[in-house]
């Protein structure tokens, strides 16, 4: 009985891993970390996590969960409320429909695909924020942000893959 219960708890825990990890990745963008050189630009870690889980286990990170994480990020970061929610829902939905392309090919193809999505997110968020604030924002910080995010992709994917392997042992 306890064995069965324990197994069920472990399974639940495993199934919650994608959502929990994605939520956790909201934090680094808010904490006052001093990053010499790049200043105020933080990588879009949640976009990366949503991309990753939407490719490998889309059923564990459905669009509504992506929405919730985005909303949390919006509320805590003080940006336009709903912007990251919108972006993460769109990324989750789009990537889940195209996941075959990313699954079957090599790592480099996945990286390239993510780079395109990061660029689209930068352009999209620039457009949305410009509309929201009713003024043309400088696009350079957003492009820089996308660039940094793409450069960090291999590292974070490695970490998320480790988490996924641990998780699969439990599910």
Partner 1 sequence: MPIRVMAQRFATLLLVAAAVGLMLLGRADNPVVERLRLAVVDAATPVLAALSEPIGTINHAIREVDELLFLRERNAMLREENARLLQWQAVARRLEQENAQLRALVKARPDPLPAYVTARVVGDSAGPFVRTLLLNAGQRDGVKSGQAAVVAEGMVGRVLEAGERSARILLLSDLNSRVPVMIETTRQRGILAGDNGPQPKLVFLAASARPQIGERIVTSGHDGMLPPGLPIGTVVSTSGDPRVELFARAERIEYLRLVRYEAPRLPPPARDGAQAAQRR
Cβ distance 57 to 18 under 8 Å?
yes
Q: 10 vs 129, which CB is nearer to partner 1?
A: 129
Asked whether position 98 contacts partner 1 by CB under 8 A, the answer is: no
Task: Give the number of other Cβ atoms within 10 Å of residue 108's Cβ.
Answer: 8
Three-state secondary structure call for residue 136: coil
Least separation in angstroms between residue 100's CB and partner 1 is 16
Least separation in angstroms between residue 154's CB and partner 1 is 21
Asked whether position 141 contacts partner 1 by CB under 8 A, the answer is: yes
Residue 94 contacts by C-beta under 8 Å, 6 or more apart in sequence?
Answer: 117
Residue 135 contacts by C-beta under 8 Å, 6 or more apart in sequence?
Answer: none
Least separation in angstroms between residue 171's CB and partner 1 is 22
Instruction: Candidates 23, 67, 152, 171: give the one binding partner 1 (CB under 8 A).
Output: 67
Q: Nearest to residue 141, comparing CAs of 33, 27, 54, 38? A: 38
Residue range at the interface with partner 1 (CB under 8 A); choices 8-16, 83-91, 103-111, 163-171: 83-91
Q: For residue 91, give both structure tokens.
A: 């990324």
- Interface with partner 1 (CB under 8 A): 27, 29-34, 36, 39-42, 63-64, 67, 70-72, 75-83, 85-86, 89-90, 93, 125, 128-129, 132-133, 135, 137-138, 141-142, 144-145
């Amino acid at each position: 009985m306890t064995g069965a219960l324990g197994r069920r708890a472990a399974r639940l825990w495993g199934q919650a891993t994608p959502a929990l990890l994605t939520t956790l990745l909201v934090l680094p963008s808010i904490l006052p970390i001093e990053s010499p050189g790049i200043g105020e630009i933080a990588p879009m870690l949640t976009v990366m996590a949503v991309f990753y889980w939407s490719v490998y286990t889309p059923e564990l990170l459905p669009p509504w969960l992506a929405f919730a994480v985005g909303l949390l990020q919006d509320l805590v970061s003080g940006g336009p409320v709903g912007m990251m929610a919108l972006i993460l829902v769109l990324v989750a939905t789009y990537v889940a429909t195209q996941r075959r392309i990313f699954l079957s090919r090599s790592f480099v193809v996945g990286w390239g695909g993510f780079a395109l999505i990061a660029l689209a997110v930068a352009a999209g968020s620039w457009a949305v924020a410009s509309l929201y604030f009713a003024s043309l924002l400088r696009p350079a910080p957003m492009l820089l942000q996308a660039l940094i995010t793409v450069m960090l992709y291999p590292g974070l994917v490695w970490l998320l893959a480790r988490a996924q392997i641990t998780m699969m042992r439990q599910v």
